[in-house]
Homo-oligomer: A and B are copies of this chain.
């Protein structure tokens, strides 16, 4: 029997699309998205309690949601289907003319239609590609081709009532791995997403201001392509000397996966893939104590700082517009992670409502990451040393040019590191020779990469020691200099502030402001204060666009780093349920308006991880991972270090060896903390 948190199944996708097709008679349905609907929390909690403490499991029907268009026209429909009982619970047009998320098949179709459209063909013809070729020393003569990169249209007015696609056009050599981002062309057709109707041809500015000329990329100066693939890099030679480093687990892994249930080193949770978020964790416990009901990356917006039309509309909502699960990479052994690997799959619906398998979208594995803790009694040189073993849940999404590596990393002491790596290829624009701007970086001949930001939001549905939690923040400040116990003016103290109403908390790095979730009903017997977990987030620049810009109206969550709201079913995504071409945020701007009491309540945390990204040449043609991360760690939640039961490090266990070969096997496998003298 399926667990309420298990991912959607092929059967459920088919049931859903079939029921809806029947309901709409012989109309043509275009499915934007089908996935499992989250169970009602109050019911799920009963289920989890029965699961954990015994008792009869309550019956929770499996339900799905579907977004679809009828006969390729607005409006967008949203339906809720009870898959267990095979019936449509509800189905109606989404109010307000909301536009649905983009469907991978739909994007591919636009890509094909675009290059096939006579007006686009006419522009391409001007390139006279047939007269062009490139001689590659290893691959010989390569011809050129044009590539269409369809983009979500974004927003700059309330007049765009139908789904649109902005096609950025590039040129590459005729090889599947050619880096077309190296040669952006200067024309950009706009199409209707559903009908493939041609809307308009935009021409791109390539200077320091908004001006452009209606020119296609001129034939006489094709810049050399900066390629990233070894096959295409001329005279590529591998860097010398990299020897294998293998992660070997002779006795197998330390984790156990049963269905969606994962257990590792005191941690217990469920992990389920979905098309929008990639994956979500549920019912997270450590050492038998409840921490979170649900944890997931729920949105990311990527606004560009290039104000020149049409670039001003470049604002992706990678989860809401595209879906991280839809965009997930199929991860491969020994490539995306090392060791003993457990993979999970994602299932999505195609435009016709048929299930599509995306294999191995989530990998789970262990890694060693140095020292967990150590202490040496200097009086006798006796030490305790433990290694930090980590458990990683990883997914990787490719959203057109960019890749995002999302890692939730668990340690043995109750801490979670939320780590995101940004990699892949910069989104590029054509650049006139010797044109230097203050909003972009020239990353190759004739090509520039505009400054932009990545603003990710992680939702933590907290459940520390129970359903009622409170958000506080602690500041650290000098003691009053007149205090008798501060006569030397060195003292400093903690000041705690309670968050009573739903809303954001401002950043304050210079008071070392620390956000915490506490349970006022659960007092730590040692500190005599409520137990808690802290969210350690570095102070960051939030969204830079003007408050009166569409970028900010659509992504209100990106204006603050930390938010608290009261739990409500269906409040899952920071920028709202529908982001594609949205006019405004329908998420935290409404839910975190201060109208609800969040103290000692069913509280949800929304943490925004921000990166302002002015590109550098080292990030082209493909960028080494840029790291963003924050920590979620116990803050006097346990009565002492919960990792005191971790066995001490020992080389009989870890089997490391000395650099040179002079030492004998005995010493190289001796127990711990016997240095080589």
Contacts and interface: CB of A to CB of B under 8 A. Distances in A.
A29 to B, nearest CB: 25
Interface string A525-553: 01111000000001111101110111100
Interface stretch (A48-56, A195-203, A247-255, A564-572): A247-255
Interface stretch (A291-299, A300-308, A590-598): A300-308
A511 B541 contact: yes
B484 A405 contact: no
Interface string A584-614: 0000000000000000000000000000101
Nearest to A241: B254
A493 B439 contact: yes
A439 B491 contact: yes
B654 A641 contact: no
A208 to B, nearest CB: 8
A327 B381 CA distance: 11
A338 to B, nearest CB: 5
A617 B648 CA distance: 21
A414 B239 CA distance: 14
B621 A641 contact: yes
A72 interface: no
Contact of A176 (B357, B382, B655, B668): B382
A674 interface: yes
B312 A374 contact: no
Given A233-B644, A423-B374, A485-B210, A651 B618 contact: no
A338 B656 contact: yes
24 contacts: A111-B379, A210-B484, A226-B640, A239-B645, A305-B476, A330-B675, A335-B385, A335-B387, A336-B649, A337-B656, A340-B656, A371-B421, A372-B625, A373-B625, A374-B403, A378-B398, A434-B528, A436-B529, A438-B493, A438-B494, A439-B494, A489-B545, A492-B545, A624-B641
Contacts of A388: 624-625
A147 B378 CA distance: 12
Interface stretch (A5-13, A82-90, A629-637): A629-637
Nearest to A383: B329
Contacts of A120: none
Secondary structure of the A contact surface, majority rule: loop
Nearest to A180: B377
Given A423-B371, A438-B493, A478 B618 contact: no
Interface stretch (A16-24, A129-137, A441-449): A441-449
A210 to B, nearest CB: 4
A651 B673 CA distance: 33
A46 to B, nearest CB: 30
Given A245-B249, A373-B625, 17 more contacts: A239-B645, A244-B653, A246-B248, A248-B248, A330-B381, A330-B675, A334-B650, A335-B387, A360-B677, A375-B424, A414-B618, A439-B479, A481-B546, A538-B538, A539-B539, A617-B637, A621-B641
Most buried by B among A490, A622, A627, A655: A490
A338 B368 contact: yes
Contacts of A236: 644-645
A57 interface: no
A489 to B, nearest CB: 4
A490 B411 contact: no
Contacts of A254: 241-243, 245
Contacts of A677: 330, 357, 359-360
Contacts of A486: 307
Contacts of A59: none
Contact of A331 (B309, B382, B495, B675): B675
A424 B655 CA distance: 25
Interface string A345-366: 0000000000001011000101
What 5 pairs across the A-B complex have the smallest Cβ distances? A334-B651, A307-B491, A334-B654, A342-B659, A330-B675
Interface in A474-528: 474, 476-479, 481, 483-495, 507, 509-512, 524, 526-528
A513 B487 CA distance: 37
Contacts of A412: 239
